[in-house]
Homo-oligomer: A and B are copies of this chain.
Amino acid sequence: MSQHKQERAVRTRERLLRAAAEVFDTTGYAGASISRILERAGLTAGAMYFHFKSKEDLARAVILEQAADLDFPETESGLQQLLDMTGYLAVELKTNTLLRAGVRLAVEQNEVGLQEYSIYEWWIDRFRQELVQAREKGQLHPFVDEADFARVVVGAFTGTQIMSQVSSDRANLPELIAAMWRCLLPALAPADVVETLVIPAGGTAGTG
């Protein structure tokens, strides 16, 4: 392919991915139709089949690329960074279409007929890295298993965002994530470390 054709192919794929995310975010998987996605992207079926063979293919791409539009705040590494990342995600889930659709489809992927665990592994590893930094900074209790705890954070965040969506269309998500951290932090770090942290949307992290 020429340079020009390659660039055009990348842009076409991008338009399809974003149009699919918009439709999945609004209507869910079952309610989404390829014709509506194509209409939204302003493209023909021929242009699509070069990149995606089916609605399922589009859903898989939206799941796997859910984090593509994120721009994580870079503060201090370690526990503060982990708090800031999850606080940022809680806010982004209100407006970031690719993230919203990707998280929704990841949770409902049983319905789609997919088994894409790799996106969960990606998040676990992302959070684990911050816990490893926290360990190196001497922030963690000696008994904390960084990989196990990172998986618990992904699980707790995933379940909490579902509960927030059902109860308030995600309006209370930042507040619920702040409450989650007030509960979890004492399992990660001693009180004198916890007191130095700031929980986004939750004030200071001291336990009293």
Assuming the contacts A109-B166, A186-B186, asked whether A180 and B208 have C-beta atoms less than 8 A apart, the reply is no
- How many chain A residues sit at the interface, stated as a range, is 35 or more
Assuming the contacts A158-B158, A158-B162, A163-B154, asked whether A186 and B141 have C-beta atoms less than 8 A apart, the reply is yes
Residues 34-45 of A, flagged 1 when their CB comes within 8 A of B and 0 if not, give 000000000000
Please tell me which one of the listed residues B117, B163, B176 contacts residue A167 in the complex, with CB atoms under 8 A apart: B117
A6 at the interface (CB under 8 A from B): no
Chain A residues 156 to 175 lying within 8 A of chain B, measured CB to CB, are 156-160, 162-163, 165-167
Q: Which residues of A contact B (CB under 8 A)?
A: 28-31, 104, 106-111, 115-117, 120, 141-145, 148-149, 151-152, 154-160, 162-163, 165-167, 176, 179-180, 182-187, 207-208
